[in-house]
């Protein structure tokens, strides 16, 4: 309804981006970055022009996930995003030294993120996937308010603790009137490569139940799988390295729902 929309700054450089989608998680280590990367590749596989903004200032992972090094070139007053597998990629990790701990206060976070959006030559994109900093503190809230998000995806493992945090994530986006595109359950189950048996290491199905209870879409399950970890660590996320494989199919299906 009129009057209830949060105040959002319009950033000139992102006017040519059709959809900005945030991928968030209530806590670190649940696979938010892995999911962001493979979702972005899944969207690109649909023929979309896609960018990935690694806004995880506490632990930027795009350099490792995409095997990218080096600083972006600056042309005029804009940084040129790096490219991998057809994605335009920008990460705070390209701008700061690896292994140097950073202390971020809320306003610094908002400013850094504003720069990575507004001072990057993104050009025309169908979608920009934003790998958000984990958590639901002030920094994340400011980010959600500052960026004109089309919607947010929340990644969780099936464990209770991660789910409690994921619920907070959903509440945070609802607070700033960002539509929740849905919840993804990562590390949902383990398929043994030796015997083919299935094990629900972190329990299973919690995210689906939570999504139902919260009245938001459940987008799907991603298994805990060695191939996903190995390809990510090698700088060739699974959708890029095995585009016709079973894992890519899972992420493409998720991308189609986003």
Name the residue nearer to ligand ADP (CB basis): 51 or 158.
158
Report in angstroms how near the CB of residue 234 gets to ligand ADP at its nearest. 10
Beta-strand relationship, 74-75 and 78-79: antiparallel
Q: Are strands 50-54 and 87-91 parallel, antiparallel or unpaired?
A: parallel
Minimum distance, C-beta of residue 42 to ligand ADP, in the bound complex (Å): 14
Answer for the pair 26, 136: CB distance below 8 angstroms, yes or no: yes
Q: Which is nearer to ligand ADP, 49 or 55 (CB)?
A: 55
Of 210 and 225, the one with the shorter C-beta distance to ligand ADP is 225
Nearest residue (CB) to ligand ADP, 15 versus 233: 233
Interface with ligand ADP (CB under 6 A): 25, 28-34, 61, 186-187, 222, 224-225, 228-229, 232-233
Q: What is the DSSP code (8-state) at residue 176?
A: T
Looking at the chain, how many residues does it have?
Answer: 258
The tokens describing 174, both together, are 């609802």
55 or 228, CB closer to ligand ADP? 228
Which residue do the tokens 């990935």 mark? 52
Number of Cα atoms under 13 Å in the Cβ half of residue 66: 30
Q: Least distance (Å) from ligand ADP to the CB of residue 76?
A: 32
Shortest distance, position 251 Cβ to ligand ADP, whole Å: 10
Closer to ligand ADP by Cβ: residue 166 or 228: 228
Strand locations in 132-179, DSSP E? Answer: 151-156
Minimum CB separation of residue 61 from ligand ADP in Å reads: 5
CA distance 124 to 17: 6
Output the residue with the shortest Cβ distance to ligand ADP. 31
Give the H/E segment covering residue 140.
helix 138-146
SS3 46: coil
Nearer to ligand ADP, 49 or 251 (CB): 251
Q: Which residue has the tokens 């968030």?
A: 24
Min separation Cβ 223 and ligand ADP, Å: 6
Rg (C-alpha) for the chain, rounded Å, is 17
- Among 121, 92, 94, which residue's Cα sits nearest to residue 109? 92
Q: How far is the CB of 10 from ligand ADP (least distance, A)?
A: 29
Q: Left, alpha or beta for 31 (phi > 0: left; psi -120 to 50: alpha)? A: left
């Amino acid at each position: 309804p009129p009057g209830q929309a949060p105040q959002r700054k319009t950033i000139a450089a992102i006017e040519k981006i059709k959809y900005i989608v945030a991928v968030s998680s209530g806590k670190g280590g649940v696979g938010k970055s892995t999911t962001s990367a493979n979702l972005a590749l899944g969207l690109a596989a649909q023929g979309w022009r896609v960018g990935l903004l690694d806004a995880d200032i506490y632990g930027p992972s795009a350099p490792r996930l995409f095997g990218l090094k080096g600083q972006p070139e600056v042309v005029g007053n804009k940084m040129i995003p790096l490219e991998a597998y057809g994605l335009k990629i920008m990460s705070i990790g390209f701008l700061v030294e690896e292994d140097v701990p950073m202390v971020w206060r809320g306003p610094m976070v908002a400013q850094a993120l504003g720069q990575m959006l507004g001072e990057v030559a993104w050009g025309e994109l169908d979608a920009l996937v934003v790998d958000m900093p984990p958590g639901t503190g002030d920094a994340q809230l400011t980010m959600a308010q500052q960026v004109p998000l089309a919607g947010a995806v929340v990644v969780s493992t099936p464990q209770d603790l991660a789910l409690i945090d994921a619920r907070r994530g959903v509440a945070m986006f609802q607070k700033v009137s960002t539509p929740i595109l849905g919840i993804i359950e990562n590390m949902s189950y383990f398929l043994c490569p030796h015997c083919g048996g299935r094990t629900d290491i972190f329990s299973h199905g919690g995210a689906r139940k939570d999504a139902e209870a919260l009245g938001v879409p459940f987008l799907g399950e991603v298994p805990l799988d060695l191939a996903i970890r190995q390809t990510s660590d090698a700088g060739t996320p699974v959708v890029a390295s095995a585009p016709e494989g079973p894992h890519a199919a899972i992420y493409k299906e998720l991308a189609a729902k986003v």
